[in-house]
């Protein structure tokens, strides 16, 4: 366990550094979007391209893994919506807040935290299964939750416009494209020219530390803005419960469904299943708070879930690694 904590500690310490820097105003809140832009449009795409290009195409096109993880994501969404929609201590939860509560329970922080952390723990072979989960969460899980959030009439344009906006957001997101280009390079055994490859490598190496620092800053900003604008707080009723869904129920569900699939004869690699179980054990994705703000959901509630899951994951994720490896 100590050897695992020695690997995971620096990752969570960088999140804490970003949180403290924003809280103490050492990092201006206005600078956080710039950090996000650097990570999202430069560093992280280069890291995902590098992993995709160096991963065998068969791992990136693992249909069994894709459908196991997709099924678990859909079950997580359904369970979280059903269990929180009308059972919140502060009153009924509308579709908008229920949808983003479900997204924060089912969407792990795979891109910013999971890929570099799992590669550090399990080696470069962990990148392929992790990239499969990123594809599911970016393309299907997020789009479905955005569509669900429109069902209570929060947007005058309705669910159809929300779906079109979700599709536009998916097309504009560089992460799926970097995965696709990396997979194409892997299939064609293509190598970038040496100067370009060096540039990509420098940006890819910057992705992990800057992304982790940015996670902490985004969490602090969400908390500070919620207090500054006096956003309505429904209470902590379902916040710890949804964080528990993310850190405990999600990985247990992926492990159980994966084991059933293997027992049924699906060609599911045990190592790949271990990787996606650990992906599910990651804390909630920090970008859900930005989506919640954009669609007028309870940003404070979402930010508190992300904050609790990130803090608790230092122990829970390390324990999951110790149990599975």
The predicted-structure confidence for 19-34, as pLDDT tens digits, reads as follows 999 999 999 999 988 8
Classify residue 285 by its DSSP letter.
P
Can you tell me the distance from the alpha carbon of 162 to that of 145, in angstroms, rounded to the nearest whole number? 10
**Residue of 175, 218, 183 lying closest to 52 (CA atoms):** 183
Residue 112 · residue 254 · CB < 8 Å: no
3-class secondary structure, 251: helix
Residue with tokens 């009723």, as numbered in its chain = 237
Higher-pLDDT residue of 295 and 252 is: 252
pTM value is: 0.82
For residue 52, pLDDT over 60 is answered with yes
* Planar angle of CA 34, 173, 181, nearest 5 degrees: 115
Question: For 195-235, how does the pLDDT look when each residue is reduced to its tens digit (9 = 90+)?
Answer: 999 999 999 999 889 888 988 888 888 778 766 554 444 45
CATH class of 2-324: mainly alpha
Q: Give dist(CA 106, CA 73) in Å, integer.
A: 6
- CA torsion 75-159-305-39 (nearest 10°) is 100
Distance separating the N- and C-terminal Cα atoms of the chain: 10
Give Dmax (Cα) for the chain: 59
Please name the residue that has the structure tokens 């832009």. Answer: 37
pLDDT-based confidence at 93, cuts 50/70/90?
Answer: confident
Q: How far is CA 31 from CA 18, 26, 183, 218, 237, in A?
A: 12, 11, 33, 11, 33
Angle among Cα 170, 174, 179 to the nearest 5 degrees reads 100
Q: For residue 155, count other CB atoms closer than 10 A to its CB.
A: 17
Q: Tokens at residue 220, please? A: 């602090």
Q: pLDDT digit string (tens) for 261-310?
A: 999 999 999 999 999 999 999 999 887 877 777 777 887 788 889 889 99
- Residue 193 has a pLDDT of 94
Which tokens in the block code for residue 67?
A: 């459908």
């Amino acid at each position: 366990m100590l050897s695992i904590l020695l690997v995971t500690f620096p990752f969570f310490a960088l999140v804490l550094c970003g949180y403290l820097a924003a809280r103490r105003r050492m990092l201006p809140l206005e600078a956080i979007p710039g950090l996000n832009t650097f990570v999202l449009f430069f560093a992280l795409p280069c890291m995902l391209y590098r992993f995709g290009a160096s991963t065998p195409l068969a791992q990136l096109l693992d249909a069994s893994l894709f459908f196991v993880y997709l099924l678990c994501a859909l079950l997580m969404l359904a369970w979280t919506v059903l269990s929180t929609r009308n059972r919140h201590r502060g009153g009924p939860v509308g579709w908008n807040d229920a949808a983003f509560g479900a997204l924060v329970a089912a969407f792990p922080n795979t891109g910013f935290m999971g890929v570099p952390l799992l590669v550090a723990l399990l080696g470069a072979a962990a990148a392929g299964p992790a990239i499969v989960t990123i594809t599911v969460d970016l393309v299907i899980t997020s789009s479905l939750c955005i569509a669900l959030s429109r069902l209570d009439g929060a947007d005058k344009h309705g669910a159809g416009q929300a779906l079109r906006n979700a599709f536009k957001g998916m097309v504009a997101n560089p992460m799926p494209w970097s995965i696709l280009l990396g997979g194409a390079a892997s299939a064609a055994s293509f190598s970038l020219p040496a100067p370009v490859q060096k540039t990509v490598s420098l940006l890819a190496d910057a992705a992990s530390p800057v992304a982790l620092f940015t996670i902490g800053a985004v969490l602090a900003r969400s908390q500070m803005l919620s207090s500054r604008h006096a956003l309505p707080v429904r209470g902590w009723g379902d916040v710890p419960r949804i964080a528990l869904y993310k850190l405990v129920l999600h990985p247990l569900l992926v492990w159980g469904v994966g084991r059933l699939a293997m027992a049924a004869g699906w060609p599911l690699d045990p190592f790949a299943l271990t990787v996606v179980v650990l992906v599910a054990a990651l804390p909630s994705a920090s970008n859900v708070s930005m989506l919640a703000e954009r669609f007028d959901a309870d940003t404070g509630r979402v930010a508190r879930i992300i904050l609790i899951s990130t803090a608790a994951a230092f122990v829970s994720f390390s324990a999951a690694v110790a149990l599975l490896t």
